[in-house]
């Protein structure tokens, strides 16, 4: 069995790029506003972590091919079309093949994908150092600057968007419109990421002009107009303005972030009222992420409590065994998992945002429960969102017994979950490691190399996890260094074994904690860890006789073949923007949904299949179990009715 080692390697100088979003410890030299909230663990910048070969690295490579295949002129077309910016371009008018789906010129959400792609390119550049990603993103930023200048010449004071300002006016007036501030958030976040990752000062200048427009647009509004406007989904624009304020120190940017405080949603959370039923989950979560940033910047204990209460409420009462939540994008009744196993569960955007919130909370408390959740949601939902054959991504992770994953198309979907997908698979290095003032946290078991410049240390992690529970960390350093290494002891593991340079050490810690190894490290020192993985059940929170089979952090699903599945891709028609929402899975009546198991002795009934890592057979049931993240292009069952 392969072991995971940590190696201290010689250090080398890295660029000044930084990691995704703004978490404590990141973006040194670019963040002007100090942290005022209490922080126990700090994030590394994404450029400090390099992925080694693994399913994560393979997902990232497929993701990059898709992003690079989308031409810059196609991504800018709707922006130029709105501004009338073609006539002034050198070479005159140019025919562009239009993007479809949610990027169609008749879709009010157009432009959001360009923002996501700016972020995705920034993360890819930070994660790899490959200049192709910076060259492409520089071209997009240059095009957006040209569009903004045309709009300024037309009197629009810094406005930048793929749709006319009238959509914002409709939002302010309370007229029907599809989430214009949500779309602007994606563009704004992409510009901020371009500055933070790629050191693109033009991106920051565009963003500052856009913020000036927003300030002049919003500050004169009456309280009634303000209240009406906030009823429409606005994504994480509050977080974006807090992040911009952290960079600039401009009080207008802070006021803009505070302007998007949605009292009707946030005030009940401050009073610990948790009536989430039928609330649009992906509208809700980013508002709380904004509160998390407010705590970090301004030490608002109220904001900290809101974030903690919300996170615990969603995890304890709304979350499926995979780490996802929601049915048809809405929160369900508390503690009603078994009643909501449909073909439209678990919007991927929700999981993306819950992971962002989780990272903030971990930095505050360094509580391993946050790392436990992050791992479960990452492996079971995010890693498996992408189709390994095509690189396309799924909107939902359906839990209807006999359902299957449904994927996007390269040019005719561009749903919100396609947008977050451009980000998800470009930033897997973000949460593997953290640090405090003294030592290193190892939270995830993903093959990677960490460079910690401040300590003069490099750590290489080698593992086949989750195919087995062995991890090796090798430490490289130019000089001996005394520091603790905090190894996560997962909630799913028992009897973890650790060796340092081949010598077994005594483990006193238990599940969901950290094993602290505090010593003076020398170049070439190694830590070997074995995390035993066992079978257990994840029962629904409202019915102990309906449960999923787990193995370590992995959800095992029953593979159910392809009978009745549509072929080819169901979304080949570019006019069907939302047919994933009413997609008929055509589940055969013969799909098996019951298992006879002994809850106290699963190994008696479930046996590993020789020669097939992570595959199991349920004895006498003719059921094959595999990790849900590995199941593609066939039906599956996650939650089973358990027969006594």
**What are the tens digits of pLDDT across the range 291-326?**
999 999 999 999 999 999 999 999 999 999 999 999
pLDDT at residue 276 greater than cutoff 80? yes
Of 421, 374, 380, 415, the closest CA to residue 397 belongs to 380
Residues 6+ apart with CB under 8 A from 368: 488, 489, 490, 491, 512, 513, 514
CA distance 374 to 353: 11
* Residue ranges of E strands in 457-502: 457-463, 470-477, 481-489, 497-500
Domain at 434-465+469-530: CATH architecture: Sandwich (2.60)
The arithmetic mean of pLDDT across residues 69-98, rounded, is 82
| Residue where the block lists tokens 């919003």 | 218
Q: What is the pLDDT of residues 260-275, one digit of tens each?
A: 999 999 999 999 999 9
The arithmetic mean of pLDDT across residues 456-467, rounded, is 98
Asked if 2 and 463 touch (Cβ cutoff 8 Å), the reply is yes
The arithmetic mean of pLDDT across residues 546-572, rounded, is 86
In this prediction, residue 583 carries a pLDDT of 85
CA distance 24 to 474: 26
Number of Cα atoms under 13 Å in the Cβ half of residue 427: 26
In this prediction, residue 569 carries a pLDDT of 47
* Global pTM value: 0.94
- 53 burial level (CB within 10 Å; 0-12, 13-18, 19+): exposed
In this prediction, residue 94 carries a pLDDT of 62
CA distance 429 to 409: 26
Domain boundaries, the chain: 434-465+469-530, 535-642
Residues 6+ apart with CB under 8 A from 278: 330, 331
pLDDT at residue 15 greater than cutoff 50? no
pLDDT band at 577 (very low <50, low <70, confident <90, very high): low
Asked if 95 and 133 touch (Cβ cutoff 8 Å), the reply is no
Of 92, 231, 90, 82, the closest CA to residue 144 belongs to 82
In this prediction, residue 28 carries a pLDDT of 86
pLDDT at residue 415 greater than cutoff 80? yes
pLDDT at residue 8 greater than cutoff 80? no
Residue 623: C-alpha distances to residues 398, 538, 606, 641, 643 (Å):
19, 18, 10, 14, 15
pLDDT at residue 420 greater than cutoff 50? yes
Residue positions counted in the chain:
644
pLDDT at residue 212 greater than cutoff 90? yes
Asked if 37 and 304 touch (Cβ cutoff 8 Å), the reply is yes
The arithmetic mean of pLDDT across residues 70-80, rounded, is 96
């Amino acid at each position: 069995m392969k072991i995971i080692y940590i190696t201290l390697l010689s250090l080398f100088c890295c660029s000044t790029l930084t990691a995704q979003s703004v978490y404590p410890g990141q973006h040194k030299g670019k963040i002007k506003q100090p942290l005022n909230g209490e922080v126990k663990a700090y994030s590394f910048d994404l450029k400090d972590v390099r992925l080694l070969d693994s399913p994560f690295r393979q997902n990232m490579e497929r993701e990059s091919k898709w992003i690079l295949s989308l031409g810059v002129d196609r991504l800018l077309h709707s922006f130029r079309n709105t501004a009338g910016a073609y006539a002034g371009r050198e070479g005159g008018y140019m025919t562009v093949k239009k993007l479809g789906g949610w990027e169609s010129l008749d879709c009010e959400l157009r432009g959001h994908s360009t923002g996501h792609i700016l972020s995705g390119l920034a993360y890819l550049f930070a994660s790899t150092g490959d200049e192709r990603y910076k060259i492409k993103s520089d071209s997009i930023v240059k095009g957006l600057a040209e569009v903004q200048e045309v709009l300024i010449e037309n009197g629009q004071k810094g406005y930048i968007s793929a749709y006319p300002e009238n959509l914002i006016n409709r939002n302010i007036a309370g007229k029907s419109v599809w989430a214009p501030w949500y779309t602007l958030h994606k563009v704004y976040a992409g510009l901020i990421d371009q500055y933070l990752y790629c050191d693109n000062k033009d991106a920051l200048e565009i963003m500052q002009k856009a913020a000036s427009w927003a300030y002049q647009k919003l500050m004169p509004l009456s309280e009634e107009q303000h209240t009406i406007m906030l009823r429409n989904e606005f994504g994480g624009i509050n977080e974006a303005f807090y992040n911009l304020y952290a960079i600039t120190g401009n009080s207008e940017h802070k006021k803009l972030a505070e302007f998007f405080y949605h009292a009707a949603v946030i005030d009940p959370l401050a009073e610990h009222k948790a009536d989430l039923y039928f609330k649009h989950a992906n509208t809700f979560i980013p508002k709380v992420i904004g509160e998390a940033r407010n705590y970090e910047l301004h030490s608002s204990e109220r904001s900290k409590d809101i974030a903690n209460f919300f996170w615990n409420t969603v995890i304890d009462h709304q979350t499926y065994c995979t780490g996802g939540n929601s049915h048809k994008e809405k929160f369900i009744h508390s503690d009603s998992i078994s009643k909501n196993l449909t073909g439209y569960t678990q919007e991927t955007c929700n999981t993306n945002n819950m992971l962002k919130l989780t990272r903030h909370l971990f930095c505050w408390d360094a509580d391993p429960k946050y790392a436990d959740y992050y791992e479960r949601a990452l492996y079971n939902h995010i890693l498996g969102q992408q189709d390994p054959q095509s690189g396309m991504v799924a909107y939902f992770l359906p839990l209807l017994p006999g359902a299957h994953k449904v994927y996007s198309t390269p040019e005719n979907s561009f749903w919100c979950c396609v947008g977050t997908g451009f980000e998800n698979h470009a930033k897997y290095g973000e949460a593997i490691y953290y640090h405090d003032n003294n030592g290193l946290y190892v939270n995830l078991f993903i093959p990677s190399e960490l460079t910690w410049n401040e300590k003069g240390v490099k750590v290489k992690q080698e593992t086949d996890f989750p195919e087995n529970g062995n991890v090796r960390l090798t430490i490289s350093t130019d000089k001996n260094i005394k520091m603790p290494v905090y190894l996560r002891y997962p909630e799913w593991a028992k009897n973890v074994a650790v060796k340092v340079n081949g010598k077994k050490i005594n483990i006193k810690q238990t599940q969901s904690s950290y094993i602290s190894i505090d010593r003076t490290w020398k170049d070439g020192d190694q830590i070997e860890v074995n995390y035993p993985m066992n079978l257990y059940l994840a029962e629904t929170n409202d019915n102990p006789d309906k449960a999923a089979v787990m193995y370590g952090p992995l959800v095992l699903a029953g593979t159910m073949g392809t009978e009745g599945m549509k072929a080819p891709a169901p979304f080949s028609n570019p006019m069907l923007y939302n047919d994933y929402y009413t997609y008929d899975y055509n589940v055969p009546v013969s799909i098996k949904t019951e298992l006879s198991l002994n809850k106290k002795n699963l190994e008696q009934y479930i046996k590993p299949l020789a020669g097939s890592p992570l595959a199991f057979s349920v004895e006498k049931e003719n059921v094959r179990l595999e990790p849900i993240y590995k199941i593609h292009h066939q039906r599956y069952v996650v939650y089973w009715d358990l027969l006594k």
